[in-house]
Every structure is written in C-alpha cells, then in structure tokens.
Amino acid sequence: MKLYDVLEQAILSDDISLKEKLTVRCLEYCSQNQVRYEDNFKPRIFERPSYASKCHIVDPRELPARKDFDTNEGLGTLVHAITHIEYSAIDLALDAVYRFPDMPMEYKIDWLVVAEDEIRHFKMLKELLASLGYEYGDFPVHCGLFDAAEHTANSVLERMAIIPRYYEASGLDVNPQIIKKLDNRRKNPLVKQLIDALNVIYEEEIDHVHKGDKWFKYLCKKEALDESVYFEILERYKLLSKHRPHINVDARKEAGFTCSEIKKLGAKECK
C-alpha cells in the first residue's frame, strides 16, 4: 500500500464516508507494517480545503453572531460552527501524518487515531444538524485552521505548537463555557443532545492536546530546544497577545501543560 497516496486521497476528498474508509485503512496498515520513508515523496501544498466544495468560505468577521439558541436557526449556527471545526480537525490530523513522513510510527498512529475520533465527532454533529433541519454547508465558514496548517507546513515543531497545543487547547477553554450557556435550555432534547456531544468531544480533545504536547516535547528534546520555544512560536504567529477570558487550568494540566505555561497564558492561579 502506498500510504501517502492514500492519505492524500483522504485529505482531498469531501466525502466523509470515503475519508473514514481511507483513514481506517491507513491506521490498520500502520498498526501492522513498518512504513518505509519514500525518498521521492514530496507532500503537496493544498490550494484549498476539501470542504470548499461544500461550504461558502468568508472572512471570520463576516460570520453571523451566534446568540439566539432558542430557535432552530440560532442553535443550527452554533452546531454548524462546531461541526466545521471537527471537519477541519479531520484533515489536520491526516495532514500531520502525510506532511511529516520522517516522524516515528507511534506519531503516525497517534494522529490517525485522532482523525478517527474527529470523524466520529463530525458524524455525531452532522446528525444533530439534520435534526435541526440543516446540513453541513448551509452556513458560511472561515478557513482559519486550514490557513494555520498551511503556515506550519514546513515545521512539525510549529505544527504541534500551533494546532494541538494552541488551537485545540483553546477549545478546552471554550467548550465548558458553551455548555454553561446552554445548560438552562437542556429541557430541549436537541440542546441536551448537543451538550452530550460537547462532553464527549471535550474528554477526547484532552487526549488530542496531550498527544500534541507529547510530540512537541519529543521534538524539543530531539532538537535540543527549551520548551519555552512554545511562546516564541506563539509570538511569531501573533497569538501570544490574544485575549483569553477563560483558561481551563485542570484540562490543560491533564493535557500536559505546566503551571508556569498556564500562568503565562493568562491564568491567575494554577496549583
């Protein structure tokens, strides 16, 4: 099996069933074989995200505000936004394997497992969207995560710092806040379904961030870098000064962040 050809096909496809089938195939192959580094392999730079055929991509400032969760449309915009993050995360996990072929086998398996998780999250939310009367692609989206992947395409260290250790870790901060806002509406079975989905995603995303933390630290050790390079990378990407109203100390600690890092990100206390 030509692993990188299959991964490329999976990343390019907008068919979630085909993405899932190819991801499972890649994971089974990596779990049972030693993947040889292909000397002539050169990963593609993808010009557009795979969801571009389904979604209308806009500037983030043009996205509709998500405030009114008492209507199907209001709830639909929220569910769609989360669905889009999960779809984007599938391609990011696959690209982490595809783009950095000289990383260890354990790394490949880790991110293929993450891709499987993200596919499951997407399908769960897509089903909820359908219950609300919508499909993935019915609301505009932005391509911030795709752009971040493109910007980190030449450095696996930066990829691990920016995608799992910054963006996914930020999701750990935001997720409980969304649940809190929805809690007084949980008598609505669709809101209850969303809260249940968010709880599943939250628990599994801690593991995803932990995987990113593990490989970030592996690369720091391999390259003889101090782990404080994380903040240099955030500064380079103009992310260090971003306002973080809520830092989820417990989840970040579970995912591998130190108290020193958590405080530097804006938490007042960490024990």
Q: What is the pLDDT of residue 253?
A: 97
Confidence of residue 38 (pLDDT cuts 50, 70, 90): low
Q: Closest Cα to residue 223, out of 65, 94, 103, 88? A: 103
| CA distance linking residue 117 with residue 202, whole number of Å | 12
Confidence of residue 158 (pLDDT cuts 50, 70, 90): very high
The amino acid occupying position 55 is C
Q: Closest Cα to residue 111, out of 230, 253, 3, 238? A: 3
Q: Would you say residue 249 has pLDDT above 90?
A: yes
Confidence of residue 207 (pLDDT cuts 50, 70, 90): very high
| CA distance linking residue 160 with residue 269, whole number of Å | 25
Q: What is the pLDDT of residue 37?
A: 63
Q: Would you say residue 136 has pLDDT above 90?
A: yes
Torsion (CA) 251, 254, 258, 260 in degrees, nearest 10: 30
Q: What is the pLDDT of residue 33?
A: 80
> Is 0.75 surpassed by the pTM of this model?
yes
**For 43-100, how does the pLDDT look when each residue is reduced to its tens digit (9 = 90+)?**
999 999 999 999 999 998 888 776 678 888 999 999 999 999 999 999 999 999 999 9
- Helices 16-32 and 72-99 sit at what angle, rounded to 10 degrees? 30
Architecture of domain 3-264: Up-down Bundle (1.20)
Q: What is the pLDDT of residue 133?
A: 96
| CA distance linking residue 97 with residue 37, whole number of Å | 12
| CA distance linking residue 190 with residue 198, whole number of Å | 12
Query: Is the Cβ–Cβ distance between 60 and 84 less than 8 Å?
Result: no
Q: In angstroms, what CA-CA distances link 22 with 15, 88, 90, 103?
A: 11, 16, 12, 20
**For 173-192, how does the pLDDT look when each residue is reduced to its tens digit (9 = 90+)?**
999 999 999 999 989 999 99
Q: Would you say residue 267 has pLDDT above 70?
A: yes
Q: In terms of pLDDT, which residue wins out, 261 or 1? A: 261
Torsion (CA) 209, 211, 215, 221 in degrees, nearest 10: 90
| CA distance linking residue 166 with residue 233, whole number of Å | 10
